[in-house]
Amino acid sequence: MNEIITIASGTWKNVLRMKVVYFLILCALVLVASAINYDVLSMGLQKELMIDVSLVLNSIAAMLVVISLTFEIPKELREGVASTLLSKPLGRFQYLIGKMFGCIVTGAVICALIAVGSFFIFNMSFGERIGVTMFQTHLLVILALIPMSALGVLFAVLLPEVIAPIITVVVVWFAFSTKFLAGIPVLYGGILPDLDLFNFRANAVYQVQIPWMYVLLVTLWGICYAAFALSLASIVFERKDIK
């Protein structure tokens, strides 16, 4: 357990220590705030636009965190950062889990900062309270980090260093459009993820509340899918030669 926490905290400390991360968060918030200038061009939809833009930027931030993971794992393995742990019997599994948790925590912190910042800007701009659905949709962006991080870990150990980030982006991108496979068990949701299950930006804009039961179950799906991806990653990682 300690090993996992060490790896995880190493990961989030690495990212959250960088000043550029906070600069990017600030940029995102400036973009959110700029939505208010589109009142004429959108014919009075600036409020809806702001809600949506904050969610879009938050999702992109989550994606970037996962991509950074796919750069980091191969680099660490190459530099032999965790070589003592990796030589232990359970070490490799612990390393992967630690990396995944580190990524989730990093993403959660960054996304939460963007969400809270957006809520603040929204409240300042329109003097309105934050709707439950707005909160729920931002929460879902954070929860989507669970399966996304697991995918990042999987591709980082499965694929060569150069193409792992690209494939991760492509898979995450298309994982939002797997709905047409919904009739095929195992393939849908089991092997291929449906990240659109976390995507309710339109609900936030139109304030159609999401049942909390759904939020709970979709979290459960994220955990199950992460377990799937991580066990697949472990099988591959066990067999990998690490210098």
Partner 1 sequence: MKRTPIYVIILVVACVASTILAMKLNTMQHSFCPEKKDLSGSPIAGFHKFASDVKWMRLVNYLGSLNTVDESNVKQVAERLEELMKLDPNLEKIYKDGALIMSIADPDKTIEFLTTACNNQYLKNNWQIPFYAGYVMMHNAKPANYEKAAEFFEMSMKRSGSDTGASYVVSSFFRAKAKDMVQKDKSLKGDEKLALLKVLYGEWENNQKMGAEGSYRNDGANTQNLNDRLIKALKDVKVASEDYKPTSDGKKYADMVISKVFDKAHICSNCTAPYDAGEKYCSSCGTSLPVWGLCKNQACKKPLKNGNAPFCIHCGAKQK
Q: Which is nearer to partner 1, 12 or 115 (CB)?
A: 115
Q: Which residues contact 227 (CB under 8 A, 6 or more apart)?
A: 150
The nearest distance, CB 232 to partner 1, in angstroms, is: 6
Considering only CA atoms, which of 53, 59, 49, 169 is closest in space to residue 111?
Answer: 59
The nearest distance, CB 147 to partner 1, in angstroms, is: 9
Q: Which is nearer to partner 1, 20 or 43 (CB)?
A: 43
The nearest distance, CB 187 to partner 1, in angstroms, is: 8
Q: Which is nearer to partner 1, 9 or 34 (CB)?
A: 34
Please give the single-letter amino acid code of residue 180: F
Q: Which is nearer to partner 1, 12 or 153 (CB)?
A: 153
Considering only CA atoms, which of 174, 171, 146 is closest in space to residue 158?
Answer: 171
The nearest distance, CB 193 to partner 1, in angstroms, is: 8
Give the binding site for partner 1 (CB under 8 A): 38, 41-43, 45, 48-49, 52-53, 56, 59, 90, 93, 172-174, 176-177, 179-180, 182, 185-191, 194-197, 199-203, 205-206, 208-211, 214, 217-218, 220-221, 224-225, 227-228, 231-232, 234-235, 238-239
